[in-house]
C-alpha cells in the first residue's frame, strides 16, 4: 500500500494544486510541506486530521493503512 507521502501527493494532484498552494492551505512554509511529500517528516496529529478533513478521506486512507477513502461517521 502507498505511504503517507505518496497518498498526500496523489490527493494534492487530484485537486490540481501545486505544493506551494498546499503549503499555504496548511499554513506552512513550502519546504516544510515538501518534507511531507518527500517522506522526510510527518505532520503532528492535528495536522494529519486537518489534511484528512480537507481531502475528505479517512486517516487510515491518508496514512496508507487502507485503500478505502470513505470516512465512517456516526450521526450524533
* Domains of the chain, start order: 4-62 (1.10.260.40)
Instruction: Taking residues 65-70, report their average pLDDT.
Output: 91
pLDDT for res 4: 96
pLDDT for res 74: 66
pLDDT for res 13: 98
Contact, 24 vs 34, CB < 8 A? Answer: no
**C-alpha cell belonging to residue 20:** 506551494
What is the DSSP code string of 20-45?
Answer: HHHHHHHT--HHHHHHHHTTS----H
Write out pLDDT tens, residues 18-50: 999 999 999 999 999 999 999 999 999 999 999
**76 pLDDT higher than 90:** no
Q: Phi-psi category of 37—alpha, beta or left, where left has phi over 0 and alpha has psi -120 to 50?
A: alpha
**72 pLDDT higher than 80:** no
Amino acid at each position: 500500500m502507498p505511504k503517507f507521502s505518496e497518498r498526500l501527493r496523489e490527493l494534492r494532484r487530484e485537486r490540481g494544486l501545486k505544493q506551494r498552494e498546499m503549503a499555504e492551505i496548511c499554513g506552512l512554509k513550502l519546504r516544510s510541506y515538501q518534507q511531507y511529500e518527500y517522506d522526510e517528516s510527518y505532520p503532528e496529529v492535528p495536522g494529519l486530521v486537518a489534511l484528512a478533513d480537507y481531502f475528505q478521506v479517512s486517516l487510515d486512507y491518508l496514512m496508507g493503512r487502507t485503500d478505502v477513502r470513505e470516512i465512517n461517521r456516526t450521526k450524533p
